[in-house]
Amino acid sequence: MVGIARPALIRSTSIPLSRPPVDDEIKEAVWAAIASGHYILGAECREFEAALARSIGVRHVVLTSSGTAALWLSFRALGVKAGDEVLVPSHTAFPTIEAIVFAGATPVFVDVDATYGLDVVDAAAKVTPRTIGVVPVHLYGQAVDLDAVSQFVSRCGIWAVEDCCQAIGAGWRGRPVGSFGRASAFSFYPSKNLTVLGDGGAVATDDVVVADQCRRLRDHGRRGKDLHVEIGFNLRFNELNAAAGRVGLRRLEAMNDRRRALAARYRAGLTRVPVELPRERPEGRHVYHLFVIRTPERDALRAFLAGRGVETGIHYPVPAHRQPAIQHLSAPSLPVTERLVGEILSLPISAGHAEAEVDEVVAAVQEYFRHGG
């Protein structure tokens, strides 16, 4: 296993929510890619795709420009069209919804369970003759109940596209997320567990037909240099980001172990504090893209932490089914989602954070509740 350098704690005015890795090995890999003179979909990209496929446990990986693009490519390759319905949790980043809409389908919003994962019972109640698929979102770094999802899609005769944009390296019963659905989407945004120091994403699949169409669609629908066999788009990946990603992928297991260790440190320090801590499914491996607590005093606690130089986040304050862009869908109420969005708070975590920083955040949370804010 590749080790991770422990950062020396330098006190500054803030503890950031995330700290992406940048070091000499990554810089050297990027400079080598620059020196190669090949910048788009070259050898670095091919090697990165192959390494990702091995890591995820699938036959094919197709790099693309973002996690949103990876979702859209997957839906297009699966033949999504106008009039189709796709089940999706409302409690997710809005790009999950954008990809469904841009593919031509209608998102049907589903509530979540106590671990922020898809509520399969609610999903089953919303199946119609127009339902063609479901998008289980592995939110915050934890796998959805993939046993329940697999049984559900088999029973209904629909497909699953896993949204793994926050969960690379997470697992379910020892098997990586992204290897269960017809296709899956990953993101390499700077704050993600595996970053390429810019935007980037990937489709993972065992289906060669899906993979081949995603490759064409990301590159103007081309088969070869000059033959355009369908209408595609420019959703390509570049060699510089691939070079950074290849270095990061070699460290991914160690970085996720580091996140898990910091999460355990948070858990130990906050056990007696009146906040709800993240729940881990025993069948899964949580990789803590985010460490999310819940409290009815969220806004006051957040302001208190900001005053102590601690950056926090809310993922996400407005549920997708209440976003103005899709109000025309007149989505029904989702009681669990609508309650939790007023209570969730993301505390700082990444492989680059120091134990002392976590301890400082814990101490600040304890101080808030000790003195009543």
CATH topology of domain 24-246: Aspartate Aminotransferase; domain 2 (3.40.640)
What span, in angstroms and rounded, lies between the C-alpha atoms of 39 and 47?
Answer: 14
- Using one digit for the tens of pLDDT, what is the confidence trace for 151-198? 999 999 999 999 999 999 999 999 999 999 999 999 999 999 999 999
* pLDDT at residue 225 in the model: 87
% residues pLDDT > 70 (the chain)? 96
What tens digit of pLDDT does each residue of 218-237 get?
A: 999 999 889 999 999 999 99
Residue 12 reports pLDDT greater than 90: no
Burial 304-318 (b: 16+ CB within 10 A, else e): bbeeeebbbbbbbee
The residue type at 61: V
Strand-strand pairing, 284-285 and 201-205 = unpaired
Mean of all residue pLDDT scores within the chain: 95
Report the alpha-carbon distance of residue 289 to residue 131 in Å, rounded: 30
| Residue 137 predicted with pLDDT over 80 | yes
Predicted confidence (pLDDT) at residue 7 exceeds the cutoff of 50:
no
Q: What is the pLDDT of residues 287-331, one digit of tens each?
A: 999 999 999 999 999 999 999 999 999 999 999 999 999 999 999
305: region left, alpha or beta (phi > 0 left; psi from -120 to 50 alpha):
alpha
DSSP code, position 325: G
CATH T-level fold of 252-370: Aspartate Aminotransferase, domain 1 (3.90.1150)
CA atoms within 13 A of residue 22's CA, in its CB half-sphere = 9
Instruction: Locate CATH 3.90.1150.10 in the chain.
Output: 252-370
Rounded CA-CA distance 145/143 in Å is 6
- pLDDT tens column, 28-74: 999 999 999 999 999 999 999 999 999 999 999 999 999 999 999 99
Provide mean pLDDT across the span 85-99.
Answer: 98
Strand 60-64 relative to strand 201-205, pairing: antiparallel
Using DSSP bridges, classify how beta strands 85-89 and 106-110 pair: parallel, antiparallel or unpaired.
parallel
User: How does pLDDT run across 64-85, given as a tens digit for each residue?
Assistant: 999 999 999 999 999 999 999 9
Indicate if the pLDDT at residue 9 is higher than 50.
no
Helix (H) or strand (E) holding 344: strand 344-347
Taking the C-alpha atoms of residue 330 and residue 321, their distance in angstroms, rounded to an integer, is: 8
**Structure tokens, 204:** 């993972």
pLDDT value, residue 6: 43
> Are 258 and 4 a contacting pair, CB within 8 Å?
yes
In the chain, where does DSSP find H-type helix? 24-36, 43-56, 67-77, 94-102, 120-125, 146-156, 208-218, 239-270, 298-307, 335-340, 355-370
Greatest distance between any 2 Cα atoms in the chain: 69
Q: Is 99 within 8 Å of 115 (Cβ atoms)?
A: no
Q: Could you tell me what percent of the chain has a pLDDT over 90?
A: 95
Take residue 102 and report the two structure tokens written for it. 């841009």
The three-state DSSP-derived secondary structure of 197-251 is CCCCEEEEECCHHHHHHHHHHHECCECCCCCECCCCCECCCEHHHHHHHHHHHHH
Model confidence band, residue 373 (pLDDT cutoffs 50, 70, 90): low
